[in-house]
Amino acid sequence: MTTSLDQLKQTGTVVVSDSGDFETIDVYKPQDATTNPSLLLAAANKPAYARLIDVAIAYGREKGRTIEEQVDAATDRLLVEFGKEILAIIPGRVSTEVDARLSFDKEGTKAKAKHLIALYESVGIKKERVLIKIASTWEGIQAARELERDDGIRCNLTLLFGFGQAVACAEAGVTLISPFVGRILDWYKKSTGRTYEGDEDPGVQSVRRIFNYYKQHGYRTIVMGASFRNIGEIRALAGVDFLTIAPSLLEELRNSNNPVPRKLSAQAAAQADPIPKVSYVDNEPEFRWALLQDQMAFDKLHEGIKKFAEDGETLKRVLREKLQA
């Protein structure tokens, strides 16, 4: 029988691997792959990846005069080394995240994105195969808008929890957004004490609303559901543009023959209840007010930035110790 993973792919959803552990990626034959500081930190501690650390350390020593310059250079090179290895396995694109501490710095985000793309090009990877991951803050969305428009750098807007964030991203013309399904569920379970499954899951409902809005209003930005807690959430979103899925859940889908019928499509979106068009991308006060009014989105965005920044700092600490050894 056809596996649930193959059935998911047959619904038209592009399957993406959410992992920095590229030794596991090829098993599931994903189109693309996503990484983040937390995933890379977990992978960097494995002996199998010591050679990538060595390349990054040598690069840091060559490029930096002070220890902090060396750490920054080594960190960027490590991101690119992981990306390069992943791109040797997958046919599509890899997402590489800018430093979360730049989430409120438009110009800093743009400079880091351009530097990462230049690093990729220096090791023979064309920019068309890279998505730069940027947090879906006001500053991040504006940075992505300019990178896409002026530099042809494709962006993945991550840590997306609220409808206003999604609207602004589409208006900004970003390539792809990553609404975090499981983290939305986490917030509602904690705040209400309830459990949610399938179509009742607030994370699933959020992605469906965004998907329908994009299709109804002709936006080309790709909707890529992320951060899943169970395969029920994945099945409930079958047919969405992309889904980025952790290896443990990819394995569960591969070992299952349960049916995965298509739940989302452009045709169904067109027939769904109309969602009125709104605008945020040129109105910072309205964007910030909408985010503030959505307590879940406000909480999870800032919590996510903080966690990614902490894991980024831990990764830098590992590299700093090696540089000083």
Give the torsion through C-alpha atoms of 197, 201, 203, 206, to 10 deg.
140
State yes or no: is 127 an active-site residue: no
Q: Let me know how long the chain is.
A: 325
The position carrying tokens 């999604």 is 166
Alpha-carbon gap, residue 257 to 125, rounded angstroms: 37
Helices 106-122, 67-87: axis angle to 10 degrees equals: 60
Q: Which residues contact 113 (CB under 8 A, 6 or more apart)?
A: 98, 132, 134, 143, 147, 153, 155
Nearest CA-CA partner of 75 in 85, 60, 89 = 60
Helices marked H in 64-147 — which ranges? 67-87, 106-122, 138-146
Amino acid symbol at 161: F
Q: Which of 112, 133, 215, 316 is catalytic?
A: 133
Structure tokens at 270: 């067109």
Structure tokens at 276: 């009125």
Q: What is the 3-state secondary structure (H, E, C) of 278-314?
A: CCCCCCHHHHHHHHHHCHHHHHHHHHHHHHHHHHHHH
284-320: b (≥16 Cβ within 10 Å) or e? eeebeebbeebebbbebbeebbeebbebbbebbebbb
- Are 158 and 152 in contact by the 8 Å Cβ rule? The answer is no
Residues labelled as active-site residues:
133
